[in-house]
Amino acid sequence: MGKFKPDTFLVFFLLLQGSLSAHSLWIPEGNQGWEESKVCYLPLKKEVPPGALSPNILNLDRARMEEFAKESAELRLASLVCFREKVSENLSNEDPLTEDLGEYFKASLVAENEKEEVYFSYEWRILLSDNRPYPLTPGEVNIAKQWFESYKEIKREISLLTTEYLSEKKPKEKHDRYLDLFTGYYGSLLRERDKFLLSISVESYKSYTDALKHRKEKSE
């Protein structure tokens, strides 16, 4: 995928890989724990294409979504395990605040979610832009807004689940539970995105995905 800095990589990840979003833990620079999260950042092995994963809205490709969602969940958990190990090496065991890592890094996790929403706005501006052969119709804009709200809600749930995981005293014992939950959330992101893309006209869909591809070509 190339040697991007985490912040640069995330911009292109959101723009070009369908807003699956930061699968690995990603804390913006300057926030507590950002150096450890940078060390633990893991990129997807296979890029999510800018277009829909499914052939049509009546035939959603759940198997393909599950494949991407599970890998994202696995990477999220792997980065969290790594993060716990790294910060534990640097934090004092005598500090009572460090007993609950989720609470200790809560502000950093909020910053992660907020920064992701900023990057998502790049894709959002491309989506709503009139500088395309076939911009969205008013009806399609309403559908897009529904997708945007779904995206934000799911991302908030992922952030809350991340905080919960870091607060666990014995996370290894609940690994499968968190893997299932993260997989479900990432799968929901892909499913909601496909439902949006496959609900707009063929012309709008092609215009939008072509704009994303053009953005990718300009960045390379």
pLDDT, tens digit (0-9, with 9 covering 90-100), for 66-90: 999 999 999 999 999 999 999 988 7
Q: How far apart are the C-alpha atoms of 181 and 196, rounded to whole Å?
A: 23
Q: Answer whether residue 216 shows pLDDT above 80.
A: no
Joined tokens for residue 22: 């930061």
Query: What's the pLDDT at 16?
Result: 37
Q: How far apart are the C-alpha atoms of 30 and 22, rounded to whole Å?
A: 18
Q: How far apart are the C-alpha atoms of 202 and 219, rounded to whole Å?
A: 26
Query: What's the pLDDT at 189?
Result: 93
Residue 72 or 118, more confident: 72
Considering only CA atoms, which of 196, 184, 172, 145 is closest in space to residue 18? 196
Phi and psi, residue 56, nearest 5°: -160, 170
Question: Where in the chain are the domains?
Answer: 6-219
**Averaged pLDDT for residues 190-196:** 92
In angstroms, what CA-CA distances link 53 with 108, 170, 192, 203?
32, 36, 11, 17
| High-pLDDT (> 90) share of the chain, % | 47
**Averaged pLDDT for residues 127-143:** 82
Q: How far apart are the C-alpha atoms of 143 and 216, rounded to whole Å?
A: 25
**Averaged pLDDT for residues 201-207:** 82
Q: Answer whether residue 217 shows pLDDT above 80.
A: no
Confidence of residue 218 (pLDDT cuts 50, 70, 90): low
Least confident of 14-28, 109-123, 201-215: 14-28
Considering only CA atoms, which of 157, 199, 219, 195 is closest in space to residue 13? 219
Considering only CA atoms, which of 141, 140, 142 is closest in space to residue 202? 140
Q: Answer whether residue 93 shows pLDDT above 60.
A: yes
Query: What's the pLDDT at 89?
Result: 85
Instruction: Render pLDDT for 8-55 as a digit per residue (tens, 0 to 9).
Output: 333 333 333 434 445 889 899 999 999 999 999 988 888 787 788 999
Q: How far apart are the C-alpha atoms of 138 and 219, rounded to whole Å?
A: 30
In this structure, what DSSP letter does residue 100 have?
Answer: -
| 37 in Cβ contact with 26 (< 8 Å) | yes
